[in-house]
A and B are shown apart, each in its own frame.
Chain A
């Protein structure tokens, strides 16, 4: 380093780019183009949900929990329902456990395909964005067919599920799954065999297994670094214990684990195939039976009023382990409610990933962990009062230029 004359720059980013969703703020120290130090400022989207939860009854909280994050809008209410069921000792019928697996895997497919489009968009491949989002539309049609709304599914109920999949709905589900299976092979071919994507993603934003374990990274980010962490397998909930599947790590295809952006692409695309397979297994093994333990809601609210205890709900969301903690003291409304989104644990791994990377790599590395609190709309580099406005459009343009430079 050339001694004390090193200056760092303040770049607050104003507008929000369409692909970047919720705002999160970084602070980097930069030596020229190379990033030397990273600091993260969160909380632009703090809506005080946990506090609002203590003032409502559990049925209302289901729909509040659904709007914590729009893309994984199934895992939050479902792990809240798990926590309440464990605190109140409510048994869930077996058919409902299978229906819950189907909804969870369907959401994982839609979320990973969405992510593939956003990641391709970050490095400048808009045609891949349109290709993947065209596939995602079929996934959303299936979600709408099964739950009644494209994004906020509203299928969760404490003690089971709100809608059943009857036998005459199964052929339509199977037909949509075949369409998805065939198209996802095409996307995987596009992503994994494209020379430019390999140039941009190989050895970029590396997270070593040691760092992933120490920083408790979760989900595909951890699995891409070789850490075998998957709540569906570690601590089987719903009906995952009856299905046969295994941890998805990049060495299935490439035979080695590097923990870089390319490995995260592999892990997510393999997981989409795994999810389709899981849904098919569920459709075959699903037993007959009722779909919710207590259909009458006033009765359910009455039983929840008498609960006095605490429960935890853990679930594997598309981005990683979602954790809910609920404490009841017999007043109907939960006394305490703690929500931990998977991105909570995937924020700190950004720091080892982004060190010694270039500024142009920030969008793709940040997008590679698929942050639900999501991509950078604020990149601020601490300056000695020299302000240099660089909006996220320029950040994105830098990223595209780098792709062009590499691919010539």
Chain B
């Protein structure tokens, strides 16, 4: 059964986008990745409206105080196996907003992050590159699971 699951899983990677206080430069690059020129839909990547259907969580922005529990709740609602891609430097390390009274740390302080997409904002191809790396990680997860069984 795990073999069937992993095969179907690879073809359709459903993505959910969560903005935790970003300046929305990265958010429009994520939407640009969905639009005709980069068109991630040809990889079966589709943006879904609720974390319950999503396999990958695209998070942007240094987490503000009001959105900390929202980001945690979104992460908990996602079914396993799941991957988190943090898009944009202010999510990775709190880039320009490194000093503030209302920000609670880069995203990996709130939820475990698998792939960091570096850039401010990263180009859509860089986001595709990040998704490719997430695939590799999910694939190795599957292999280790099979070896353990």
Are chains A and B touching in the complex at the 8 Å CB cutoff?
Answer: yes
As a 0/1 sequence over residues 346 to 380 of chain A, the CB contacts with chain B under 8 angstroms (1 = contact) are 00000000000000000000000000001001000
Contact A52 B99 (CB under 8 A): yes
Q: Which of A17, A21, A136 has the most CB of B within 10 A?
A: A21
- Chain B: minimal CB distance from A51 (Å): 7
B16 and A15 contact, CB distance less than 8 A: yes
Asked whether B31 lies within 8 Å of A47 as measured between CB atoms, the reply is no
B74 contacts the other chain (CB 8 A): yes
Instruction: Determine whether A45 belongs to the interface, using a CB cutoff of 8 Å to chain B.
Output: yes
Instruction: Report Cα–Cα, A136/B73, bound state, in Å.
Output: 34
Whether, in the assembled complex, B13 has its beta carbon less than 8 Å from a beta carbon of chain A, the answer is: no
Q: Which residue of A lies closest to B34 (CB)?
A: A18
Given A391-B49, A393-B49: A48 in contact with B101 (beta carbons within 8 A): yes
Q: Which of A123-149 contact B (CB under 8 A)?
A: 129-130, 133-134, 136-137, 140
With known contacts A64-B96, A67-B96, A69-B24, A134–B103 Cβ distance under 8 A: no
> Which residues B19-76 have CB closer than 8 A to chain A?
19, 21-32, 34-37, 47, 49-51, 61-62, 64, 66-67, 70, 73-74
Residue contact B17 to A47, C-beta cutoff 8 Å: no
Tell me the chain B residues, 94-113 only, with Cβ under 8 Å from chain A.
96-97, 99-103
Measured CB to CB, the nearest residue on chain B to A51 is B101
Instruction: Determine whether A32 belongs to the interface, using a CB cutoff of 8 Å to chain B.
Output: no
How many residue pairs between the two chains, A and B, have CB atoms under 8 Å in the bound complex?
123
A151 on the B face (CB < 8 A): yes
Q: Interface size on A (CB < 8 Å)?
A: 44
Q: Measured between alpha carbons, how far is A18 from B15 in the docked complex, in Å?
A: 11
Residue in contact with A70 in the complex, picked from B25, B70, B103, CB distance below 8 Å:
B25
Report the separation of the CA atoms of residues A17 and B18 in the bound assembly, to the nearest whole angstrom: 8
Closest A residue by C-beta to B97: A47
A152: interface (CB < 8 Å): yes
Tell whether, in the assembled complex, residue B51 and residue A70 are in contact, meaning their CB atoms are under 8 Å apart.
no
Known A51-B100, A67-B96, A133-B36; judge A18-B30 contact (CB<8 A).
Answer: yes
Q: Chain B: how many interface residues by the 8 Å CB criterion? A: 43
Interfacial residues of chain A within 200-236, with CB under 8 A of chain B in the complex? none
Chain A residue contacts of B17, Cβ below 8 A? 16, 18
CA distance A114 to B66 in the complex (A): 28
Which residues of chain B are within 8 angstroms of A51 by Cβ–Cβ distance?
Answer: 100-101
Contacts A21-B19, A21-B27, A23-B19; is A70 near B32 (CB within 8 Å)?
A: no
A63, A114, A140, A151: most-surrounded residue (chain B CB, <10 A): A151
Select B64's contact among A45, A69, A114, beta carbons within 8 Å.
Answer: A45
Whole-angstrom CA separation of A68 from B61 in the bound complex: 12
What are 15 of the A-B contact pairs (CB < 8 Å)? Answer: A18-B27, A18-B30, A19-B31, A22-B19, A48-B97, A48-B101, A69-B23, A70-B28, A71-B24, A133-B31, A133-B32, A134-B36, A151-B25, A391-B49, A392-B49
Among all A-B residue pairs, the 8 with the closest Cβ atoms: A70-B25, A393-B49, A21-B24, A133-B35, A48-B100, A70-B24, A70-B23, A67-B23
Chain B residues with CB under 8 Å of chain A are 16-19, 21-32, 34-37, 47, 49-51, 61-62, 64, 66-67, 70, 73-74, 90, 96-97, 99-103, 120-121, 123
Residues of A within 8 A of B (CB): 14-19, 21-23, 43-49, 51-52, 55, 63-64, 67-71, 73, 114, 129-130, 133-134, 136-137, 140, 150-152, 374, 377, 391-393, 396
* A-B contact sample (14 more), CB < 8 A, given A18-B17, A152-B120: A18-B34, A21-B24, A43-B66, A45-B21, A46-B102, A47-B62, A47-B100, A48-B101, A51-B101, A67-B96, A69-B23, A133-B31, A151-B29, A391-B49
